[in-house]
Copies of this chain bind each other. A is one copy, B any other.
Amino acid sequence: MQLEEKLLNGDKRGCAKLISMVENNDKEAIDIIKKLYNHTGNAHIIGITGPPGGGKSTLTDRLAKALRKEDKKIGIIAIDPTSPFSGGSILGDRIRMNDLSLDKEVFIRSMGTRGYLGGLSKATQGAVKLLDIFGCDYIFIETVGVGQSEVDIVKTADTVIMVMVPGLGDDIQAIKAGVMEIGDIFAINKSDLMGASKTATEIKMMLDMSDNMERRPPVLQVTAIKNEGIDKLVDEIKNQMNYLEESNELYERRKNNAKTEIIKLVEEDIINLILKKNESIGMLDDIAHEVAIKVLDPYTAKDRVFNSIKEL
């Protein structure tokens, strides 16, 4: 059976193979996505992010299990830390969700930040499309780490769940401006801990102060490890999707995401073009040499390379 058929027939290994191929920037895999692109758009893509230690993996695990009870097909992409200096917690994340991964209707993939030709963002976007064609009803993109680049990827989801923990206190102030705004739903995890209601109130107050929101995000208290509040969270995920569809916001978001994706793809092509041209005629080498010996500044050098692109 061809990979294409395998994907359409919901063959997990075929899907896994294609995702690996996309990670390696394989033309065949890209061609399959191109061909089957009109099969995408059915999955609800959910980004899960938040400060470290919030229990994002556990929450994703519980959400997936709750949706499995409704016989939904699930994809989970865990984005590993951007930090090249990783702590010891990663291995724990990697071996998590074992029982889920045995489920034929659940596809789990962990994606690192290095070694992907074309970058993690491109690989993730490709994987999301493949899982969409594969027939997933829900695709979770979860940040394991909390770097800016991972958050930028999560922002491309239809819905973003911001996972917080009680007792953040002043730390809420430390969350950089603009990040709170990407949350469509706020889930305060570990709500069996002291201070959960206080944190909920604080977040609500912050959200009330923001005036550039179409829809005030719901703030929920959950305790993922005890499976408490998960059903309510699932309800809010569905409410959010209904809102997105009815308000045309889903179209707007997907259009904006398409713009970002196209620009990133163009960027990559340009770089490849410059590097390829450099291999043959050494254009970049020559110019970089002049910059290194200080007879040319990098800004003027850029203009030269930029102008030469039009002739390529």
Binding site for B on A (CB under 8 A): 30, 33-34, 37-38, 40-41, 50-52, 82-88, 90, 113-114, 125, 145-149, 151, 170-171, 174-176, 178-179, 251, 254-256, 258-259, 261-263, 265-267, 269-271, 274-275, 284-285, 287-289, 291-302, 305-306, 309-310
* CB nearest neighbor in B for A54: B85
Contacts of A82 in B (CB 8 A): 82, 147-149
Contacts of A301 in B (CB 8 A): 258, 262, 265
Q: In the complex, A284 Cα to B258 Cα: how many Å? A: 9
Do B86 and A295 have beta carbons less than 8 Å apart?
A: no
Report A190 CB to chain B, min CB distance, Å: 16
Q: In the complex, A38 Cα to B297 Cα: how many Å? A: 8
* CB nearest neighbor in B for A254: B292
Given contacts A291-B258, A306-B269, contact A85 B263 (CB under 8 A): no
Report A116 CB to chain B, min CB distance, Å: 12
Q: In the complex, A88 Cα to B170 Cα: how many Å? A: 8
Do A148 and B258 have beta carbons less than 8 Å apart?
A: no
Given contacts A266-B270, A266-B274, A266-B309, contact A148 B255 (CB under 8 A): no
Contacts of A51 in B (CB 8 A): 85, 87
Given contacts A34-B300, A302-B265, contact A255 B84 (CB under 8 A): no
Report A222 CB to chain B, min CB distance, Å: 19
